[in-house]
Amino acid sequence: MATPFMKGGAVDYGKLKEMVASQVEGGVEGICAVGTSGESPTLNHAEHHEVVEKTIEYAAGKALIVAGTGSNSTAEAVSLTKAAISMGGADATLQVTPYYNKPNAQGLYRHFMTVADLGLPVILYNVPGRAGKEIPLDVVVKLAAHPNIVAIKEAAGSVERVSAIKNVLPDFTVLSGDDSLTLPMISVGAEGVISVASNIIPREMGDMVRLALKGDFVKAREYHAKYYTLFRDLFIDVNPVMVKEALWLMGKFEREFRLPLCQTDDAKLEQMKKTLSETGII
């Protein structure tokens, strides 16, 4: 879920409450607070805690809550995760691959195990395009033996990677991290998506996924085809720029970012406006 800001840059908790309500009303099973789309790198720790806490409060038990509490510092990831645990109401934590410092396999293993030992269920987040490092398959296998490591979000852009995981861990939950790859990933064993597009079309994304999980790929492909251009155009600029631009065009958000993120250029904004219009969203 994207984090809304007021003019001037403060977190807009009124808009946050509206976003949570729209996701719940759209029938999502879970809401991920302060992930990549939530502009986690630019929130300070107090804001980070409050966005998670308010998301839990606003959801009122009507959706599972995944708290984005990852970091490239194990101590910071532990601190953020402990805060989420202390609030009560968080159902899992999303733990990104430590970025920039690019730890070796043993470092990755120890990092994720340290967080998992805190007791909150962990969703690993494999996103080498952002982290500069993937979680090697053999490390995923070792981590999956921990009872609190329950799933992995695969955002490497690879359907083959899902097959590789399910080949060695047939009962381990894999979630797509790419809206446009959700259907092919489900076809080889993924069980859902942590979605950017759901900020805009929560009910439609949920319907597409549920149809695919039931094996009705004909109807699921109709959703995919209708919203493919949205899936594509949400990434013509770095996430979460385009999803927040779309929410602004829909009248849901102020057009506010925190540097180094900023507004997109006029051509990309016009493309998003065209896509939202052609898909019937605006």
Query: Pick the catalytic residue: 58, 109, 125, 223?
Result: 125
Query: Pick the catalytic residue: 133, 153, 223, 227?
Result: 153
153 is catalytic: yes
Asked whether the bond before 240 is cis by omega within 30 degrees of 0, the reply is yes
Any idea what the Cα angle at residue 55 is, between residues 171 and 193, rounded to 5°?
30
- Backbone torsions φ then ψ of 268, nearest 5 degrees: -70, -35
Query: Which residues have a Cβ under 8 Å from the Cβ of 52 and sit 6 or more positions away?
Result: 33, 34, 65, 67, 68, 69, 83, 84, 87, 90
125 is catalytic: yes
For the beta carbon of residue 259, count every other beta carbon within 10 angstroms.
7
Which helix (DSSP H) or strand (DSSP E) does residue 95 occupy?
A: strand 92-96
In terms of Cβ atoms closer than 10 Å to its own Cβ (0-12, 13-18, 19+), residue 112 is buried
By C-alpha distance, which of 168, 108, 171, 96 is closest to 136? Answer: 108
Q: Which residues are catalytic?
A: 125, 153
